[in-house]
Amino acid sequence: MISQKEYIKRRERLAKSLQINSMTLLLSATQKTRSHDTEFPYRQNSNFYYLSGFKEDSAALLIVKTKESIKEYFFVAKKEPQMELWTGKRLGVEKAKEIFSFDDVFEFTQLQEKIAAFSVGIDSFYYDFEESEARLTSLKSELKSVECFYNVASIIGSLRLVKSVAEINIIKEAINITKKAHHRAMQVSSKLTYEYQLQAEIEYVFKKNGAYSDAYTSIVACGNGANTLHYISNDKALEKNSLILIDAGCEYNYYASDITRTIPVSGAFSDAQKELYELVLSVNKAIIKMIRPKVLRSKLQSKSEELLCQGMLELGILHGSFQELLDAKAHKKYYPHGIGHWMGLDVHDACPYKDKNGKEIPLKAGMVLTIEPGIYLDADDKSVPKKYRGIGIRIEDDILVTKEGYENLSEQIVKEIEDITRKSNSNL
């Protein structure tokens, strides 16, 4: 778990980046309607949670920075017994004062009046442009002296790039739960009939082990479905001689895992499936070995493209001169996405890839990123050798950058052909 001391340090780091005579406002996420009068399960805004650890809606964080001081004010929903009967207990102002280290805590309904009171002499205002723009319309009338508005989300994103020990431990547990889910999928796939049944097995393991939510909508794509990168219908039959691309990760205590494994429905790979799988696996392992501080993600990307292009040329998927094919990006038809992304509070963590000067940010110890090469050969693509058509393969691991190099946080989730075959044919 993350301590209140860590949340305090995060806010201190944020405050150092703020202008003198500024006010910063972060709002909690709002409830989202599913249909009519029913709502989706509530999930707190990641930036708000990063700075507070607070999980309720109708909440706000206000930071006022002047030459003399930095003051932090928190706003929470009023305790209303009749509402709590329907929607659950609220923490309330008094309990929030006991738990959180803020200069003062108010009811959320007081936000506008407090902004008006604290805004005297304030000339800079920070907020999340994407999340809060529409909700700030009524508040901006209280900010008459403000000359400049800044997007605080970009600053917080930079703070979130390097994970603390506590964050890494939570991510490790999310991956440990995900390991159990993927291994179960390998063991039961041959016994099931539909993709959604396999999805249910995976998400059952998530919830059984304390991960109450998936980190994103699970992809369980059998056969040609794997060639749709964001395939989430998961409603097709499991074809016995096909591969299943499973891209599924859980969210544990707000932190994500993101794992992809591609496995045979029947428990055995065909020769053609093996050839493609070994190509993608070799690229996955080669790129992971490149990870260390100061390396640029663009180098990982370009190397993955070189290796996949060369492999596709050797397998007869591409034809011609390697360098000409690479320069023409012929391989992008079959490998159209990036090698990976940041991961943390969001599965695609909202952290920058370039600094404020537009320069690429190199890897640094404490960063967590995915490595996920893939190859996607549509069943209707007549330019591809017939034996490979309809096969889509991606292999994705979650990697921690360390001072010495890297730690593959998901190395215990099997991915060698022999290990997948053994796991698929083992007893539950």
Separation CA 174–CA 124 (nearest Å): 39
Confidence of residue 428 (pLDDT cuts 50, 70, 90): low
Q: Which residues pair with 360 in a beta bridge?
A: 354
- C-beta of residue 407 within 8 angstroms of C-beta of residue 428: no
pLDDT at 135: 75
List, for residues 358-391, the tens digit of each pLDDT value: 999 999 999 999 999 999 999 999 999 999 999 9
Strand 250-252 vs strand 213-214: parallel, antiparallel, or unpaired? antiparallel
Q: Give me the residue label for tokens 């291994």.
A: 183
Residue-wise pLDDT tens digits, 183-222? 999 999 999 999 999 999 999 999 999 998 999 999 999 9
- Is 141 a residue whose pLDDT tops 80? no
Task: Provide the H-helix boundaries in 225-293.
Answer: 271-290
Render pLDDT for 383-415 as a digit per residue (tens, 0 to 9). 999 999 999 999 999 999 999 999 999 999 999
Q: At residue 4, does pLDDT exceed 70?
A: yes
Query: Residue 29 and residue 60: Cα distance in Å, rounded?
Result: 10
Active site residues: 37, 230, 247, 258, 337, 341, 348, 372, 376, 394, 396
pLDDT, averaged across the chain: 96
Query: Which structure tokens are listed for 94?
Result: 């008094």
Buried (b) or exposed (e) across 278-291, using 16+ Cβ within 10 A? ebbbebbbbbbeeb
CA distance 410 to 288: 12
Q: How far is 384 from 378, CA to CA, in rounded Å?
A: 8
> What pLDDT, on the 0 to 100 scale, is given for residue 307?
98
pLDDT at 34: 94
H-helix or E-strand spanning residue 38? strand 38-39
Mind listing the pLDDT tens digit for each residue in 40-75? 999 999 999 999 999 999 999 999 999 999 999 999
Given this model, what pLDDT does residue 11 score? 98
Domains and CATH numbers, the chain: 4-159 (3.40.350.10), 165-424 (3.90.230.10)
Question: What's the pLDDT at 366?
Answer: 98
Q: Is the pLDDT assigned to residue 259 strictly greater than 70?
A: yes
- Section 271-291 average pLDDT: 98
**Residue that the structure tokens 């040329």 belong to:** 313
Are residues 199 and 238 in contact, defined by beta-carbon separation less than 8 angstroms? no
Cα(179)–Cα(184) distance, integer angstroms: 8
pLDDT tens figures, 319-349? 999 999 999 999 999 999 999 999 999 999 9
